[in-house]
Chain A
Amino acid sequence: MVDSKDFKTRLKIAKDKFKKHSIITDNNGNSSFMGTAFKLGTELVSAVLVGTIIGFILDTWFDTKPWLIILFFFLGSAAGILNVIKAAKKMQQKN
Chain B
Amino acid sequence: MATNPMHQFEVHRIGPEIKIAGIDLSFTNASLFMLLSAITICIVLLLGTQEKKLIPGKLQLIAEMFYNFIAKMISDTAGSKAKPYFPFIFSLFMFVLFCNMLGMLPYSFTVTSHIIVTLIMAIFIFIAVTVIGFLKHGFGYLKLFVPSGVPIVLLPLITVIEIISYLSRPVSLSVRLFANMMAGHTMLKVFGGFVISLGMLGGWLPLGFSVALTGLEILVAFLQAYVFAILTCIYLNDALNLHH
Contacts and interface: CB of A to CB of B under 8 A. Distances in A.
Given A32-B223, A39-B176, A43-B172, A50 B167 contact: yes
B168 interface: yes
Q: Taking each of A50, A75, A78, A90, which has the highest tally of chain B beta carbons within 10 Å of its own beta carbon?
A: A50
Contact of A83 (B172, B176, B179, B180): B172
Contacts of A38: 176, 179-180
A46 B227 contact: no
B161 interface: yes
B164 A75 contact: yes
A81 to B, nearest CB: 9
Which interface residue of B164, B176, B227, B234 has the most chain A CB atoms within 10 A? B164
Given A42-B176, A78-B161, A79-B162, A35 B168 contact: no
B160 interface: yes
A80 B161 CA distance: 9
A94 B223 CA distance: 17
Interface string A39-80: 100110111011100100000000000000000100110111
Nearest to A50: B168
A11 interface: no
Contacts of A90: 234
Contact of B161 (A39, A43, A79): A79
Interface residues of B, number: 19
Contact of B165 (A39, A47, A72): A47
Contact of B175 (A45, A72, A86): A45
A25 B219 CA distance: 13
Contact of B168 (A32, A39, A49): A49
A90 B162 CA distance: 17
Contacts of A45: 172, 175
B171 interface: yes
Contacts of A46: 168, 171-172, 175
Given A42-B176, A45-B175, A78-B161, A83 B223 contact: no
Contacts of B223: 32, 35
A50 B180 CA distance: 20
Contacts of A54: 164, 167
B77 to A, nearest CB: 10
Given A39-B227, A79-B165, A82-B165, A50 B176 contact: no
Nearest to B178: A42
B91 to A, nearest CB: 22
A42 B167 contact: no
Contact of B164 (A32, A39, A76, A86): A76
A45 B165 CA distance: 11
